[in-house]
């Protein structure tokens, strides 16, 4: 009897923590989101010198409350799941752990103070929000298209990196160690700033030949930005064709949330496609 009761308790906890489509789970997820965002804002404000001077102690207390809360949450997640290890090793589990460690490290090591910045990783947990809305179809669709683009995009990035090294070296030769182009890595940094059309202006060509080379770099950057866009658009169209125009809701029971490779409704078993 006692064991069954315990089972009940763990089952209920699992429902609250992991099942966001149940009312209790929804409330838990929303509360967790608010806690994460608040803790991030505390980290941010604490880095502002003037605010830190006034509210520093409050912030460090709040930080500890959040750290303890997230630790309790992490332990509860481990307790109520059947296979705790698979959670610990899942991407979300690793992020949850990474976001916890810095606070505890700062007790033992003084140098670990700077690690506190890694608490910003907590923000990654915000992606849980998509469990609340029905964004899974869109996420699946986007990740599938991105997966299809990975090889083409990596060819593109290698080409850009090669271009940037060569153009940076030429510029180093042209501007002759003056005007900020003091060494090749610096010139490559300039080439990246230019080819991506960011253009800080911290380093910019001064000599006429330098300006001519820079113009060529800019026009190259302007033209090749079309490449990743073209690739992705094309692969979205491919992913979409594979999807066979998946209906957002089942045509017979009208419930949503089917996988992109589903052929039949997972709720009522009716076929999802007409033809």
The angle at the Cα of 71, spanning 66 to 74, to the nearest 5 degrees, equals 125
182 binds a copy of itself (CB under 8 A): yes
- Which of 47, 238, 14 shows the shortest CA–CA distance to 147? 238
66 binds a copy of itself (CB under 8 A): no
Enumerate residues 92-121 that contact a copy of itself by CB under 8 A.
114, 117-118, 120-121
Q: Check: CB of residue 256 under 8 Å from CB of residue 249.
A: yes
228 binds a copy of itself (CB under 8 A): yes
Q: What is the DSSP string of 124-169?
A: GGGGGHHHHTT-HHHHHHHHHHHHHHHHHHHHHHHHHHHHHHHHHH
32 binds a copy of itself (CB under 8 A): no
Closest CB to a copy of itself among residues 69, 120: 120
Closest CB to a copy of itself among residues 90, 183: 183
Tell me, by CB under 8 A, how many residues bind a copy of itself.
Answer: 84
Candidates 5-13, 16-24, 36-44, 76-84; binding stretch for a copy of itself (CB under 8 A)? 36-44
Figure out which of the listed residues 184, 207, 257, 262 binds a copy of itself, where binding follows CB under 8 A: 184
**H/E element, 267:** none
194 binds a copy of itself (CB under 8 A): yes
Tokens representing 69 are: 């809360």
Closest CB to a copy of itself among residues 17, 239: 239
CA dist., res. 169 & res. 185, Å (int): 9
Half-sphere exposure of 148 (CA within 13 A, CB side): 19
Residue 246, Cβ density class (10 Å: 0-12 exposed, 13-18 middle, ≥19 buried): middle
**H/E element, 225:** none
Enumerate residues 124-143 that contact a copy of itself by CB under 8 A.
124, 126-127, 129-130, 133, 135, 138-139, 141-142
**H/E element, 268:** none
55 binds a copy of itself (CB under 8 A): no
151 binds a copy of itself (CB under 8 A): yes
Closest CB to a copy of itself among residues 80, 174: 174
Closest CB to a copy of itself among residues 8, 261: 261
Figure out which of the listed residues 1, 5, 110, 202 binds a copy of itself, where binding follows CB under 8 A: 202
Give the shortest CB-138-to-a copy of itself separation in angstroms.
5
């Amino acid at each position: 009897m006692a064991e069954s009761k315990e089972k009940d308790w763990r089952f209920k906890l699992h429902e609250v923590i992991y099942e966001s489509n149940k009312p209790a789970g929804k409330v838990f997820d929303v509360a967790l989101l608010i806690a994460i965002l608040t803790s991030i804002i505390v980290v941010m404000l604490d880095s502002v010198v003037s605010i830190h001077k006034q509210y520093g102690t409050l912030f460090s207390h709040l930080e500890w409350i959040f750290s303890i809360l997230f630790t309790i949450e992490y332990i509860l997640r481990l307790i109520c799941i059947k296979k705790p290890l698979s959670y610990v090793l899942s991407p979300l589990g690793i992020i949850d752990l990474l976001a916890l460690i810095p606070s505890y490290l700062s007790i033992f090591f003084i140098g670990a103070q700077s690690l506190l910045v890694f608490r910003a990783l907590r923000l990654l947990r915000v992606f849980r929000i998509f469990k609340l809305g029905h964004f899974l179809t869109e996420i699946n669709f986007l990740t599938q298209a991105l997966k299809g683009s990975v090889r083409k995009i990596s060819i593109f990035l290698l080409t850009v990196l090669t271009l940037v090294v060569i153009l940076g070296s030429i510029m180093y030769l042209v501007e002759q160690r003056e005007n900020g182009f003091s060494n090749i890595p610096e010139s490559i940094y300039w080439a990246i700033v230019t080819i991506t059309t960011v253009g800080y202006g911290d380093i910019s060509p001064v000599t006429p030949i330098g300006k001519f080379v820079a113009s060529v770099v800019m026009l190259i950057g302007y033209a090749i930005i079309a490449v990743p866009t073209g690739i992705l658009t094309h692969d979205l169209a491919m992913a979409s064709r594979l999807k066979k125009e998946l209906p957002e809701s089942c045509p017979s029971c009208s419930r949503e949330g089917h996988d992109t490779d589903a052929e039949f409704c997972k709720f009522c078993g009716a076929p999802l496609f007409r033809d």
